[in-house]
Amino acid sequence: MPFFIDPLYLVIAAIGFVLSAATQAWLMSSFKKWSQVPNSHNMTGAQVGKYLLANSSLAKVGGKPQFGGADGKMPGEVRLERVGGTLTDHYDPRAHTVRMSQPVADTPSIVAMAVVAHELGHVQQYEEGSGLIVMRNFLIPALRFSPTLAYGLIMAGFVFQATNMVWLGILFFGVTVLFSVLTLPVEFDASRRGMKLLEEAGMLKTENDRKGSKQMLTAAASTYVAAATTSVLQLLYYISLARRS
């Protein structure tokens, strides 16, 4: 199978590995640095979350953001919960819940402040029915089968010299790539919104607050850039193989 031994594929794999390793190293370095620096309000991530819900543009009906539209759910209160692990923080739109890892929920650090603000940025995206969120979520059902089906069709197409099968596999792989690419503006927008929420609530009081939050969020976003770049390069490689077959 040519894509396993083609030097071009090895180059693409190496680029992907280097990008992933570099961005992960930057993320962990930023996390280690700013997790040891207290934010100026000396608030844990859980406290920051509650404060932003009550003292930013998310504050509606007594600090209870109202939902609807993008997630199709009835209005409800945003909940804050703890989960295990490190950097496992995320927003679950189905439960209207921001889940915070223990280092974020229980530590009064700049990292905790920045991460919670980012996740609340996602809350605001869903609350406003962001078009980016709607487009990305439209692709989620297809992601359950498209990667496996794509690789299977591409490999089978080359084995049986069936070019049409290869192109069909590339089409399914393109869904995964599109999702990865759409994730970039979603994540950058959530970080932008998070910084704005911190600004609105008066939480960026010092240079460290501002610099640390921005660096942490930028480092986190870079991991999505690396993933999207690798996916696009793989897609272009498969297209070049199909054209040569």
Residues 6+ apart with CB under 8 A from 244: none
Contacts 24+ apart (CB under 8 A), 65-68: 65/123, 65/124, 65/127, 66/127, 67/96, 67/126, 67/127
Residues 6+ apart with CB under 8 A from 168: 153, 157
Q: How far is Cα 103 from Cα 177, in angstroms, rounded to an integer?
A: 32
How distant is the alpha carbon of residue 184 from its chain centre?
7
Q: Which of 119, 199, 200, 207 is catalytic?
A: 119
Structure tokens at 32: 């280690």
* Placement of tokens 């993008």 in the chain: 70
Give 3-state DSSP helix, strand, coil % of the chain, rounded to 5: 70, 5, 25
The reply to whether 187 belongs to the active site is no
Q: How far is Cα 19 from Cα 227, in angstroms, rounded to an integer?
A: 8
What amino acid positions are annotated as catalytic residues? 119
